[in-house]
Structure 1
Amino acid sequence: MGSRYVVGVDGSSPADAALAWAVRHARRDGAGLALVHVADPEQAMHDLALLDEAEAAGERLLSGAAREIRSAHPGLEVSTELLSGVPVWTIAERAGAGDTVVVGTGKTGYVSGRVLGSRSVQFALAARGDVAVVPVFDPRFREGVVAGVDRTETAAFIGARAAREAAERGMRLTLVHAVPAELAHGSRADAESPLALAADAALAVEGMLEIRSRLSARPPADALLDASRGSALLVVGPGAATPSPLGTTLHAVLLNANAPVLVVRP
């Protein structure tokens, strides 16, 4: 089985935004599109009729969405699956390490204690592969790809992945690295700094790519959210040195996403 974009379908505006994003990227990459609806049995644990009704509604959502997509994009491979369980963990379990899970989020904003994006954090924890977190937005008015570069071990990987995304869109790439103010001068001059390593890897992917490197003395989440406001995509790594838990910066970014966020794993 090749790589797929796996997206939950539930009829909500955030889910619709995630689905539209997944369709565009599956077409771009020649990948499959897997539509999943999860009926949560706990919501109808005392009434089997309610569960049957929820599953029937899910089937209608899936078939309707698949029919519209196949009609608009005949060459796109579309599959549907109705599952039962806790939605986040069930969808993450069905997605392979080479798949990208796409999830919508109803929150757009800045770091101010907002919590309604917590589902995206759960997906980023649970999924084995990449996760795209998509707010409700109009892609026509977005420009540029931003990448968060945190440490030398992952800098080249992040730079290369972000460069591919920028090149596919024909957009510039902005690399962002947050450091304490007293370390900024040394980081600018260091050819082995995370920013330099990321830029070198990006140029190796696309030599004609316009690349901007930005050092910031602000807290990392603030720096990334500020840089990505109005951008087409923010590319970040898991953040922590181990796969789980997520780094605190990524946690804050996902809770307050103001642009599509692609969490990539080496």
Structure 2
Amino acid sequence: MEIRRYIVGVDGSLPSRAAIRWAIGHARQHDTEVVLVHVADDEWGAAGTDLIDEVDSGARRLLEDEVGYTRSLHGAAGPRAELRSGSPMTVLASLGDTETMLVVGTHKTGFHYGRAFGSRSLQLANLAVGPVAIVPDTESHLRRGVVVGVDDSPAGSAALDLAADLACDHHCELIAVRSSGPSPRGADRRDAEPERLSQYDDEARGLLTAAVERVRRSQPGITIRSRVVRRPPGTALNDIARGAEVLVVGDSRREEALPGVLGSVAYDVLLNVTSPTIVVHAPPVTSAVAQPEGEAHVVR
């Protein structure tokens, strides 16, 4: 997966600045464009023209401040900045595509299982069709390694490819994780017979072996570790990635990206995020076009 642009949603908060730092650090790897976007919430639309003008003026000042902050980061070149209005996460999602990484910060930096409170980052991951990075406001310079959740879905394959690329770019270890345990909303496999548990473990190891072989063909120089765990996948991934540079997960097991539909594992990970986390959606499905019999053709 090639990322040609990073769009950072900014609002002047500490997590927002953590998102800026993260995007700048990753964009430098390939001299990729970074765009700062502030979305003025259009809920102010019914408040009168004077207040709307005041909100717009404040939004412009905020965006100018964030551009200045970005320029102060180790001599970073001035990014392009855009001021938009509307529902913030809906507008940001509309700006993304399969080659654009949407980046937002989050205050959430720990485990809160059982508390289904709202999350704008969760809303963004739900609405987007391209990759979304959720960056907590925590120190990142001591983090090491890339963790990826492995499954056999299109989104899982795309997540594995991106994770391998990131591990290569950052010269760090790739940790591939597969759970043979219960899913967040599925049957609890921990109550299964020992023989059945061993079968689940073997299935998970087989899937991991195939994934590691695939990565070695595309990125032969990186170090790869694989882990089979029996805990629910969201819990295990957040725990293992607590000290990682980034966690990468696929959005769901569906064949294509469907805005508004997020799989249970990605949902659970984002509710309890512990590290910078990238949600990767399934690549678009292209329909084959019938060709006249006997004629050669190229599929692009």
Query: TM-score, length-normalised on structure 2?
Result: 0.80
Which of 260, 263, 272 aligns to 1:247? It is 263
Quote the residue 1:61 is aligned against: 62
Contact 1:149-1:177 within 8 A present in 2 as well: yes
The answer to whether residue 276 in structure 2 is matched with residue 260 in structure 1 is yes
Percent sequence identity is 38
The number of aligned residues is 265
CA displacement at 1:129 relative to structure 2:
0.9
AA partner of residue 159 (structure 1): L
Quote the residue 2:134 is aligned against: 133
Task: Give CA deviations for 1:23-46 in whole Å, capped at 9, x if unaligned.
Answer: 111222221111111111213522
- Relative to 1, partners in 2 of residues 1:87 and 1:156: Cα closer, same or farther, differing over 3 Å? closer
Quote the residue 2:233 is aligned against: 220
2:29 aligned counterpart, secondary structure: helix
CA displacement at 1:55 relative to structure 2:
1.2
Contact 2:106-2:121 within 8 A present in 1 as well: yes
Max Rg structure? 2
Contact 2:156-2:249 within 8 A present in 1 as well: no
Q: Structure 2 matches for 1:148-227, cutoff 5 A?
A: 148-151=149-152, 153-180=154-181, 185-186=198-199, 193-227=206-240
Output the aligned Cα RMSD.
2.4
AA partner of residue 54 (structure 2): E
Query: TM-score, length-normalised on structure 1?
Result: 0.90
CA displacement at 1:256 relative to structure 2:
0.9
CA displacement at 1:144 relative to structure 2:
1.2
Contact 1:118-1:255 within 8 A present in 2 as well: yes
1:6 aligned counterpart, secondary structure: strand
For residues 208 and 112 of structure 1, what CA distance do their matches in structure 2 show?
37
In structure 2, stretches of 5+ residues that fail to align are 182-189, 284-300
For residues 117 and 174 of structure 1, what CA distance do their matches in structure 2 show?
30
Contact 2:155-2:253 within 8 A present in 1 as well: no
In structure 1, stretches of 5+ residues that fail to align are none
For residues 154 and 47 of structure 1, what CA distance do their matches in structure 2 show?
45
